[in-house]
Amino acid sequence: MQLTLKKNRNKAFCRQLVVLLLIGTALFSCSDSDESSQSLSEDGHVMGSVWAMVYPTNLLLRLADHTYISAIDTGGNTYDWLCFGNGSEGDELSGTLTEFTADITTVGFMASEPPCKWPLEYYLVIGVCHQCANRALYYTDKTVADSEGYDFFTSIYGTYGDESISESHTYSMKRCIEAAPLWQGGTTSSASASLSGKSSDDDFPGEEKQLYRDYLKQKQTHAFNMSPDDLYSGYLDKLFRMRIRKKLGIDFSYRTVDQLVGLRNRYREMKMTLDREIQLSRLPEEELLARYENLFNNLANGYKVILTSLEYETLFNLSYYQGIELDDILPRSR
């Protein structure tokens, strides 16, 4: 997430523990994703370990975390895909490491190449760094859900990016899956099965991924004769309700959950109006940025009216007294 992002452009330090696990005490050098010396699978894919990195967008206040993807192949070459960020510092995000059997070729494509990574003019329209990182982790059965602010932005954009622009949008997650190199890694979810109609007991062990797989299947079969936008809205409702229960407990008030979902839906309608305006280029960049920031802060304030300070901070991993800041983003010119 590119919120109040510090402009530290230092290269990432090498992940010593992972290297020891992979290649003992051999020396290696940090590199970008274009590294030519790679360890290949029989199918020509680079294999290794992958994980998400995380760092706060403000070191003094509790703002949303920026997340991005790092990897190391079996030859010791390291990779960073920054997910719209400016720096490669931070720490490994707990629970995101896939060791040894990750297909770095597929991960790297889904982290950095169209149609998986959208251009900067669609930042805040399709999603933020959380959705970008989740796309890269798609086949690993992991998300960046433990990062601060994740649930706030996932309530708006979903797990893998907003698909309400249109069913056939160039940068939809469906097109990303179709375009990405076929996963050659280890025993992870067979996410492509969700598009082919095939199923497996091993597909998407996490409930968040299961919800998305069900949505893709419904969209493919035009379930209930619903429009694509209605299907997507229904998926977002289920996702938000599931995340609220996970964070605040299964006994949390159903009435309050309904209030939160209803509030979010009203603000998503406002966001979709802004999305259309940015597509038509009717507003200057600075005004668009200010309007998104105002929209998100009004939504946050609405959540704060419904929730206690403890509930708000537990659900969103954000400070109750800190606003949402987007002043490091200029979507069209940066």
User: Are 138 and 222 within 8 A, CB to CB?
Assistant: no
What integer pLDDT is reported at residue 116 of this predicted model? Answer: 96
Counting residues of the chain whose pLDDT is more than 90, the rounded percentage is 47
In the predicted structure, residue 6 carries a pLDDT above the cut 80? no
Contacts 24+ apart (CB under 8 A), 292-298: 292/124, 292/326, 293/324, 293/325, 293/326, 293/327, 295/267, 295/270, 295/271, 296/152, 296/156, 296/324, 296/326, 297/323, 297/324, 298/267
What integer pLDDT is reported at residue 207 of this predicted model? Answer: 80
Mean pLDDT (the chain, rounded): 78
Segment 167-203, tens digit of pLDDT = 457 899 989 999 999 999 875 544 444 343 333 334 3
- The residue-averaged pLDDT of 294-299 equals 94
Counting residues of the chain whose pLDDT is more than 70, the rounded percentage is 73
What integer pLDDT is reported at residue 322 of this predicted model? Answer: 83
What integer pLDDT is reported at residue 282 of this predicted model? Answer: 67
- Between helices 228-248 and 207-221, what is the axis angle to 10°? 170
In the predicted structure, residue 309 carries a pLDDT above the cut 70? yes
What integer pLDDT is reported at residue 203 of this predicted model? Answer: 39
Q: What CA–CA distances, in Å, run from 69 to 5, 114, 145, 272, 278?
A: 17, 16, 14, 28, 28
**Which residue stretches of the chain are H helix?**
16-23, 104-112, 129-136, 150-157, 173-179, 193-196, 207-221, 228-248, 254-280, 285-306, 309-316
What integer pLDDT is reported at residue 39 of this predicted model? Answer: 55
State the CB neighbour count (10 A cutoff) for residue 177.
21
Segment 58-109, tens digit of pLDDT = 644 557 788 999 999 999 999 999 998 877 889 999 999 999 889 999 999 9
Question: What is the Cα–Cα distance from 139 to 221, expressed in whole angstroms?
Answer: 23
Sign of CA dihedral 155, 159, 165, 171: positive
User: Are 118 and 89 within 8 A, CB to CB?
Assistant: no
What integer pLDDT is reported at residue 19 of this predicted model? Answer: 29
What integer pLDDT is reported at residue 325 of this predicted model? Answer: 77
3-class SS of residue 102: strand
Whether omega before 115 lies within 30 degrees of 0, making that bond cis, reads yes
In the predicted structure, residue 18 carries a pLDDT above the cut 70? no
What integer pLDDT is reported at residue 287 of this predicted model? Answer: 80
Note the pTM of the prediction, 2 decimals. Answer: 0.80
Q: What CA–CA distances, in Å, run from 35 to 2, 64, 108?
A: 26, 31, 12
In the predicted structure, residue 149 carries a pLDDT above the cut 50? yes
Tell me the pLDDT band of 141, cut-offs 50, 70 and 90. confident
